[in-house]
Chains A and B, each alone.
Chain A
Amino acid sequence: AQKITQTQPGMFVQEKEAVTLDCTYDTSDQSYGLFWYKQPSSGEMIFLIYQGSYDEQNATEGRYSLNFQKARKSANLVISASQLGDSAMYFCAMRWGWEGGRRALTFGSGTRLQVQP
């Protein structure tokens, strides 16, 4: 079965500190892509970062980095120097195969991050 698991329903972090949001996945496929999205209270899904299964280096986008451990099937999101505006719901998602836009994403249950001043 192909599944995405986020085990942290909620996380707290102090402003300016780093935080790691966990994500594990289960698949027998060799080709897949891993995504992280931020969903503020407005509901929009903001794309943060992408990691391909064959990418040898961990993806980074500004304050976001993805700690990709293929053997462990984990794709944790690291947010450095947290800001109050980072408070939101965060979803890990996966897309199987190399068909790009022709495949839907499967989402984890999400982690609610609250940044405290």
Chain B
Amino acid sequence: GAVVSQHPSWVICKSGTSVKIECRSLDFQATTMFWYRQFPKQSLMLMATSNEGSKATYEQGVEKDKFLINHASLTLSTLTVTSAHPEDSSFYICSAAPPGPSAFFGQGTRLTVV
């Protein structure tokens, strides 16, 4: 199936610093990518929709100034967690879909803010 690659797999950062997470579609072009967050023992919750060449769309309750999304090309979307705090520690995972009914996910990034 189609491949979505996400890096890094895990990251530990100090409180107050910023962290960038990359999501790439390796064998298809994705005008739209999605960012989800998953807290321990919970389900995936959509944070934002990343649109190539335009502004991201954020879900209610997600701070757009804190979670910066850039979708500069048809194969790359980035999520930057700015001024990270311990409560931002979570599992972040991106998704993209080639033409057709499928949807694929990156490997996910486990963020720990200390």
Contacts and interface: CB of A to CB of B under 8 A. Distances in A.
Given A43-B93, A43-B108, A44-B105, A109 B99 contact: no
Interface stretch (B16-24, B30-38, B64-72, B78-86): B30-38
Interface of B: 1, 30-32, 34, 38, 42-46, 49, 91, 93, 95-105, 107-108, 110
B108 A101 contact: no
Contacts of A37: 105
Interface string A30-50: 000101010000111101001
A91 B108 CA distance: 16
Contact of B43 (A44, A47, A104, A107): A107
A93 B36 CA distance: 13
B70 to A, nearest CB: 18
Question: Which 8 A-B residue pairs are closest in the complex by CB-CB distance?
Answer: A101-B97, A45-B105, A43-B108, A107-B43, A104-B34, A107-B44, A104-B46, A102-B32
A100 B34 contact: no
A47 B103 contact: yes
A102 B54 CA distance: 14
B101 A52 contact: yes
Contact of B103 (A42, A44, A95): A95
Contacts of B93: 43, 45
B101 A44 contact: no
B69 to A, nearest CB: 13
A3 to B, nearest CB: 12
A91 B44 contact: yes
Given A45-B105, A45-B108, A110-B43, A101 B49 contact: no
A110 B100 CA distance: 25
Contacts of A11: none
Nearest to A46: B105
B43 A50 contact: no
A81 interface: no
B74 to A, nearest CB: 12
Nearest to A51: B101
A105 interface: yes
